[in-house]
Amino acid sequence: MSAREVPDSQDPSGGRVVPGIDRDCDTDQWSPDLYEGKHSFVWKLAASVVELLAPKPGERMLDVGCGTGQLTARIAESGADVVGIDNSPAMIEEARRHYPQIEFRLADAHDFEFDGRFDGVFSNAALHWITDPNQVVACISRALTPGGRFVCEFGGDGNIRYLVAAIESASHRLLDKPAPHPWYFPSIAAFASVLERHKLDVTQAALIDRPTPLEGSDGLRNWVRMFGQYWLAQIPPDQHEQFFEQVEEISRANLFKDSLWYADYRRIRVIARKTHA
Residue 16's nearest CA partner among 117, 109, 150, 118 is: 109
Instruction: Report if residue 30 touches ligand SAM, rule: CB under 6 A.
Output: yes
Instruction: Report if residue 124 touches ligand SAM, rule: CB under 6 A.
Output: yes
Instruction: Report if residue 25 touches ligand SAM, rule: CB under 6 A.
Output: no
Least distance in Å: CB of 40 to ligand SAM?
Answer: 8
Residue with Cβ nearer ligand SAM (70 or 159): 70
Residue with Cβ nearer ligand SAM (43 or 185): 43
Least distance in Å: CB of 93 to ligand SAM?
Answer: 11
- Give how many residues touch ligand SAM by CB under 6 A: 22
Instruction: Report if residue 271 touches ligand SAM, rule: CB under 6 A.
Output: no
Instruction: Report if residue 129 touches ligand SAM, rule: CB under 6 A.
Output: yes
Question: Terminal CA-to-CA distance of the chain, rounded, Å?
Answer: 24
Residue with Cβ nearer ligand SAM (126 or 151): 126
Phi, psi dihedrals of residue 83, rounded to the nearest 5°: -120, 135
- Enclosing H/E stretch for 97: helix 89-98
Check: CB of residue 149 under 8 Å from CB of residue 273.
yes
Residue with Cβ nearer ligand SAM (82 or 109): 109
Site for ligand SAM in 81-100 (CB under 6 A): 86-88, 91
Least distance in Å: CB of 44 to ligand SAM?
Answer: 9
Instruction: Report if residue 130 touches ligand SAM, rule: CB under 6 A.
Output: yes
Residue with Cβ nearer ligand SAM (246 or 267): 267
Whole-angstrom CA distances from 260 to 34, 158, 165, 228 are: 19, 21, 19, 20
Least distance in Å: CB of 109 to ligand SAM?
Answer: 3
Instruction: Report if residue 110 touches ligand SAM, rule: CB under 6 A.
Output: yes
How big is the chain, counted in residues? Answer: 277
Residues with Cβ within 8 Å of residue 162, at least 6 apart in sequence: 251, 254, 255, 264
Instruction: Report if residue 125 touches ligand SAM, rule: CB under 6 A.
Output: yes
Binding mask 51-70 for ligand SAM (x = CB under 6 A): --------------xxx--x
Least distance in Å: CB of 147 to ligand SAM?
Answer: 24
Task: Identify which range of 73-81, 103-111, 194-202, 209-217 contacts ligand SAM by CB under 6 A.
Answer: 103-111
48-56 LR contacts (CB < 8 Å, sep 24+): 49/122, 49/124, 49/151, 49/152, 49/153, 49/269, 50/74, 50/75, 50/122, 52/151, 52/204, 52/269, 52/271, 53/120, 53/122, 53/149, 53/151, 55/79, 55/80, 55/82, 55/120, 56/80
Query: What CA–CA distance (Å, rounded) separates 270 from 152?
Result: 5
Query: What CA–CA distance (Å, rounded) separates 110 from 87?
Result: 10
Give the footprint of ligand SAM on this chain (CB under 6 A): 23, 30, 42-43, 46, 65-67, 70-71, 86-88, 91, 108-110, 124-126, 129-130
